[in-house]
Amino acid sequence: MKTFRFAIAVYSLFFAVVAVYAQSPPPDTGLTANPVFEKNCAKCHGKTGEGRHFGGPPLVSEKTAAASTDDLRNIITNGKGRMPKYASKLTSEEIDTLVQQINALNKK
Ligand code: HEC
């Protein structure tokens, strides 16, 4: 009977550990994991922000790294050249998140 209880305890511990791992995959909160980027931006700037598709420049570049947070937010909100404006398509929170994630990608 004691062995049986011990087995139950071991099994529940095992399942608890599995459950914890299943629920918390390593959090990838970067630009490439952002569904907003995937849906709106990846077609021009590439899935990883490497650029090239339909003439969108890379978002990981010296130029982007040199741009201020305000510049980046402004370009995404109001557009620039062939870059469409997202003022009416995304919320300002979504745009802020994109800006932060673009900045994070450019920090080496
Ligand atoms: C239709 C293609 C297209 C789409 C879609 C697009 N972009 Fe762009 N993006 C461009 C082009 C082209 C430029 C270059 C504009 C210029 O400098 O004339 C640009 C420039 C930028 C820049 C400035 C880069 C720099 O180094 O100055 C940022 C930041 C940017 N895009 C972010 C985004 C984000 C975020 C999204 C999605 C919400 C997005 N873009 C969607 C084409 C696109």
The preferred substitution site among 54, 60, 62, 83 for testing ligand 1, maximizing ligand atoms within 8 Å of CB, is: 83
pTM of the model: 0.79
Concatenating the DSSP letter of every residue in 1-36 gives: -HHHHHHHHHHHHHHHHHHHHHH------SGGG-HH
Ligand 1 pocket list (CB less than 6 A): 40-41, 43-45, 54-57, 59, 61, 63-64, 67, 72, 75-76, 80-84, 86, 98, 102
* 3-state DSSP assignment of residue 45: helix
Compute the distance from residue 58 Cα to the ligand 1 centre, in Å: 8
Mean pLDDT, the chain, as a whole number? 84
69-78 helix and 92-106 helix, angle to the nearest 10 degrees = 130
The preferred substitution site among 44, 62, 106 for testing ligand 1, maximizing ligand atoms within 8 Å of CB, is: 44
Can you tell me the distance from the alpha carbon of 105 to that of 45, in angstroms, rounded to the nearest whole number?
Answer: 13
- Answer whether residue 103 shows pLDDT above 80: yes
Report the pLDDT value the prediction gives residue 22, as an integer from 0 to 100: 54
In the chain the domains, ranked by start, together with CATH numbers, are 29-106 (1.10.760.10)
Residue 80's DSSP bridge partners are 83
Can you tell me the distance from the alpha carbon of 53 to that of 46, in angstroms, rounded to the nearest whole number?
Answer: 6
Tell the residue nearest (CA) to atom 10 of ligand 1: 83
Can you tell me the distance from the alpha carbon of 88 to that of 92, in angstroms, rounded to the nearest whole number?
Answer: 10
- Answer whether residue 1 shows pLDDT above 90: no
- The number of beta carbons lying within 10 Å of the beta carbon of residue 85 is 14
